[in-house]
Amino acid sequence: MDIIRAELADRGVVLPPENEAVILRAIHATADFDFAENLTFTPGAAEKAVAALRAGADIVTDTNMARAGVSKTALAKLGGSVYCYMADEAVAKRAKAGGVTRAAVSMEAAAQEHPAAVYAVGNAPTALLALCGLIDEGLRPALIIGVPVGFVNVVESKEVLLKTCQRLNVPAIVAVGRKGGSTVAAAICNALLYTAAGQLDPRDR
């Protein structure tokens, strides 16, 4: 982290204090300093998510890879759990019957069980679009992390998410552009978790 801070200083980049932990951990996970510029936060998003996690909010991911990367120790300390419905048999059946992606149906399933969770999407644009529809219908999650990576509908889905969350006052952290991934989604979750649990210093974990 000291190396990252020094390089940011050399580049003349000053991070907003309220978002610093998230941006630093995204860079730490990827060695990509573009995240200092492309991570976009709705007002108070990180602070609101930290408060929700301290109150025991769960985390929902769109991939088991992201789920595996979330710190279970920090989350358990706060009273929460992490879930991913992608491999759920009922989700697969509904997706096949409806001709839609499992990612979209997994968000619908998660919303029924964990409406106030932190949602971390690092892979599937269709998961983001499904969440946008659910938000329009009244879902109010603690936070949506929108960081899918790739080339097909990635940029567009992030733009829709950001506009939807801004319009309806839902906290969001979005990696504008093509970059992101499950690793970034987990890294952002962990930055928020370590902040909430008072474990930003590795010696406290």
Catalytic residues: 28
Opening angle at CA 18, ends 26 and 194, nearest 5: 55
The answer to whether residues 126 and 101 touch, using CB atoms and an 8 Å cutoff, is yes
Angle, helices 125-136/102-113, rounded to nearest 10 degrees: 40
The answer to whether residues 76 and 60 touch, using CB atoms and an 8 Å cutoff, is no
Neighbours of 164 (CB within 10 A): 20
